[in-house]
Chain A
Amino acid sequence: DAGVIQSPRHEVTEMGQEVTLRCKPISGHDYLFWYRQTMMRGLELLIYFNNNVPIDDSGMPEDRFSAKMPNASFSTLKIQPSEPRDSAVYFCASSRDDGELFFGEGSRLTVL
């Protein structure tokens, strides 16, 4: 299996622009997680899905952030409008019922 695949790997954008991050989980994994990592806060869970249904989005910082999972093999995290404080590395991870998490390589976002 190719593992969790994220795109883009790097994104540089200007404040106010829309950003869309993409994730393809490992086939057969029922859980999908979106995390954000910064030096200040470490790894923060933003939202997670079970069988394509959002279960807990309490970590989503504000209404500018939204996430979707239209099918078992694809999820998006959207920021609109983006702000400089959104600059971070965004990770997607997936797991089966045993709870072993597998991470993608991350999307490094820089908002100028």
Chain B
Amino acid sequence: KQEVTQIPAALSVPEGENLVLNCSFTDSAIYNLQWFRQDPGKGLTSLLLIQSSQREQTSGRLNASLDKSSGRSTLYIAASQPGDSATYLCAVTTAGGSYIPTFGRGTSLIVHP
């Protein structure tokens, strides 16, 4: 059974810092990995999707990498801003079985001015 862990659970940083959020998974036979952002009281917003054959994806100040052999993905946020404050979740869909994305518990990020 796939297990997804996100560390740290919470992070507080000053504006302008470059950040790395981590997502680890136990079964490396994955179909894809997706990063989401969730604001309080809102739904999950898709940030980046990395297919199994890809190593990284970029969108604006966000870059996500995937290393299947080590069971890890990182979300890099450049030049953080207060508007980046939210909870970031990763979801891993395992290949070859039920098409079920497994979610981590998320990293709660606060960027203070």
State the A residues within 8 Å of B (CB). 4, 31, 33, 42-43, 45, 48, 50, 55-56, 91, 93, 98-106, 108
CA distance A56 to B42 in the complex (A): 26
Q: Is the CB of B99 within 8 A of A101?
A: no
Shortest distance between the CB of A16 and any CB in chain B (Å)? 27
> What chain A residues lie within 8 Å of B43 (beta carbons)?
4, 91, 103-106
Q: Is the CB of A102 within 8 A of B46?
A: yes
Cβ contacts B31-57/A at 8 Å (1 or 0 each): 110101000011111100101000000
B72 contacts A by Cβ under 8 Å: no
CA distance A90 to B61 in the complex (A): 30
Q: Is the CB of B100 within 8 A of A99?
A: no
Q: How many B residues touch A, CB cutoff 8 Å? A: 23
CA distance A55 to B99 in the complex (A): 9
Q: Given A31-B99, A48-B100, A106-B43: A101 and B105 within 8 A (CB)? A: no
A-B contact count (CB 8 A): 54
Shortest distance between the CB of B59 and any CB in chain A (Å)? 13
Q: Given A43-B103, A55-B98: A100 and B49 within 8 A (CB)? A: yes
Q: Is the CB of B31 within 8 A of A91?
A: no
From B36, B45, B51, B101, residue with most partner A Cβ within 10 Å:
B101
Q: Given A42-B106, A55-B99, A56-B98: A98 and B44 within 8 A (CB)? A: no
Q: Which residue of B lies closest to A104 (CB)?
A: B43
CA distance A101 to B32 in the complex (A): 11
> What chain A residues lie within 8 Å of B106 (beta carbons)?
42
Q: Is the CB of A99 within 8 A of B42?
A: no
19 cross-chain CB contacts under 8 A: A4-B43, A31-B99, A42-B103, A42-B106, A45-B100, A55-B98, A56-B100, A98-B32, A98-B51, A99-B93, A99-B101, A100-B46, A101-B46, A101-B91, A102-B46, A103-B43, A103-B46, A104-B43, A108-B41
